A and B are shown apart, each in its own frame.
Chain A
Amino acid sequence: MRLAILGAGAVGGSVAELAGEYGHEVVALANSSQAAVADDEELDVESALERAASDESLGSSDPDRVFETDYDVLVEATPTTLGDAEPGFSHVERALSDDKHVVLANKGPVAERYEDVRALERESAGSVRFEAAVGGAIPVLSTIEDCTPQAVTAVRGVLNGTANFILTRMAAEGLEYEHVLAEAQDLGVAEADPAFDVDGTDAALKCVILANVLADGGFSLQDADVTGIQDVPPSALELATEDGRTIRLVGEATREGVRVGPRLVPENGAMAVSGTRNIVQIQTRHAGDLYSSGRGAGGPETATAVLSDVGRL
């Protein structure tokens, strides 16, 4: 497949780097202001990424030129935005209207405008996949697809590595939230502005996507009941531990709704993953519970999910 990649950050860059290994070719790579496109000659991904890393221009073309290249799959890896999910949504719209496939790493369009995306897909010869938007490298959506969404009754999971790292450290060391957050920022586990992760928004967006898949649409972030971890004191973790439990930020998606919040889970149970690991429990009607655990974020990890999607097209 010929890939046009929008977004040259950790995920987009890794997709570009790994595409060859998966038997695909990169014909365009763009960030918000510049693009490197293959016209007659092959695009040199390595040097384009090196230029981008050293703050030089990624390429000399206008990002809009990406849509004029001869590509099969648009990989949308620009940052997630809320509300109208722009510009991600317009990128999806443009590719589908040209009958191209779209693989999303960007959560916005399928969390905030799922019905619109599906309507555009119905009109197009292309299709939309978004495995990378939920749980990074963990095959969540493809597992649901394999079980058929109708046979899945609920999906629950620890879906944010930053929040999980903080709760794990707080429980292990008996430290305050603020202290552990600063440590996580020093380690690069938490962003300078960690709000999106610790207030539950990121996990909620993933669960909204899952609920949309289960119910075939109907949910956006404002339908989710979300509580973050900022108010969990060490004393609560200590009480939980005394009772053989711990606290994790758990998201839950069903056809009825989306809830995210700190939950008590058995300390030695499957849900009590530690550090930045994620875990997903898929509750099925006929096959009990299925679990998948692994790295829910990271450039090469998420790129793996993108490239798996490309392979499924």
Chain B
Amino acid sequence: MSDEYASGSSTTGTAADSEVEADDATAADREGNSPETDGGQQAYTVRLELVDEPGELLRALAPISEHGGNLLSIHHERGNITPRGHIPVEVDLECVPARFDDVVDGLREAGINVIQAGPERYGEELTVVLVGHLVETDLSDSLSRIEGEAHAGVLDLSLNAPDGTDAISSARLRLAVDTGRRETVLDALRSLADEKGLSLIEPLSGGEI
């Protein structure tokens, strides 16, 4: 079950009060996905993945208003757990389209894992297999770096280590990537694999064939 917080909730302490009344006006627009409002504001949904620790939600929301976004609503899905054991949070916000990238970048700079950002973002999934000494080369560091440096959301991870974690193992990663950023993400994965002496088995380019 999800807890819903009213927009402009004091939980954040940062949402601009003047924008609270915009909530109702844009709700329908958000539904219809054609959310151009007065002043060129546009509604966006970002999906975040938070560590279950006190203060994390507040910390996650601060960068949104700092970068010019106004909070509309927050769905804090406490009963749900992502494959990595974190809590998914869905945030509706509005901002001028030109600022949306700043908002998302701001979230990432604050170390928040953005797994989906806006209707046109994270439009693609990418599956890769990493092979090598995954555990000895710090798998959790690799995952954090994929999310931080490659700007890809890790949706799912399968590890296959038949000979134990100190031998060669394989991991299949399903990643969410921004539309059109597939090559950039793959480049970042290639560098990471090179640096850690891992082999990266990429999906075939040119679509599903």
The size of the chain B interface, using a CB distance under 8 A, is 23
Contact between B129 and A271, CB atoms less than 8 A apart: no
Q: In the complex, what distance in Å separates the CA atom of A281 from the CA atom of B168? A: 33
Q: Which residue of A lies closest to B208 (CB)?
A: A266
Contact between B209 and A235, CB atoms less than 8 A apart: no
Contact between A239 and B204, CB atoms less than 8 A apart: no
Q: In the complex, what distance in Å separates the CA atom of A252 from the CA atom of B127? A: 19
Q: In the complex, what distance in Å separates the CA atom of A262 from the CA atom of B171? A: 15
B128 at the interface (CB under 8 A from A): yes
B140 at the interface (CB under 8 A from A): no
Closest CB in chain B relative to A30 CB, distance in Å: 42
A245 contact from B127, B162, B199, B205, Cβ within 8 A: B127
A55 at the interface (CB under 8 A from B): no
B172 at the interface (CB under 8 A from A): yes
Contact between B201 and A263, CB atoms less than 8 A apart: yes
Interface membership of chain B positions 169-209, coded 1 if the CB is closer than 8 angstroms to chain A and 0 otherwise? 11110100000000000000000000000010111111011
Contact between A266 and B170, CB atoms less than 8 A apart: no
Which A residues touch B203, using CB under 8 A? 245, 263-265
Contact between A265 and B209, CB atoms less than 8 A apart: yes
Contact between B209 and A263, CB atoms less than 8 A apart: no
Closest CB in chain A relative to B198 CB, distance in Å: 10
- Given A233-B168, A271-B209, A289-B209, residue A239 in contact with residue B202 (CB < 8 A): no
Contact between B127 and A261, CB atoms less than 8 A apart: no
B129 contact from A227, A239, A269, Cβ within 8 A: A239
B57 at the interface (CB under 8 A from A): no
Contact between B208 and A239, CB atoms less than 8 A apart: no
Contact between B208 and A264, CB atoms less than 8 A apart: no
Contact between A266 and B209, CB atoms less than 8 A apart: yes
A227 contact from B158, B172, B199, Cβ within 8 A: B199
Q: Which residue of A lies closest to B163 (CB)?
A: A235
Q: In the complex, what distance in Å separates the CA atom of A238 from the CA atom of B87? A: 30
Interface centre among B128, B199, B205, B209 (most CB of A within 10 A): B209
Closest CB in chain B relative to A80 CB, distance in Å: 26
Contact between A242 and B158, CB atoms less than 8 A apart: yes
**Interface contacts beyond A234-B162, A239-B129, A252-B206: sample of 4 additional A-B pairs, CB < 8 Å, sorted by A:** A156-B206, A235-B168, A265-B204, A269-B208
22 contacts between A and B (CB under 8 A): A154-B206, A156-B205, A156-B209, A234-B162, A235-B160, A235-B168, A239-B171, A239-B172, A240-B172, A242-B158, A243-B127, A243-B172, A250-B204, A261-B202, A263-B201, A264-B127, A265-B209, A266-B208, A269-B208, A269-B209, A271-B204, A281-B209
Enumerate the 8 nearest inter-chain pairs by beta-carbon distance, A residue then B residue, closest first. Answer: A235-B160, A236-B170, A239-B172, A235-B170, A264-B203, A263-B204, A239-B160, A236-B129
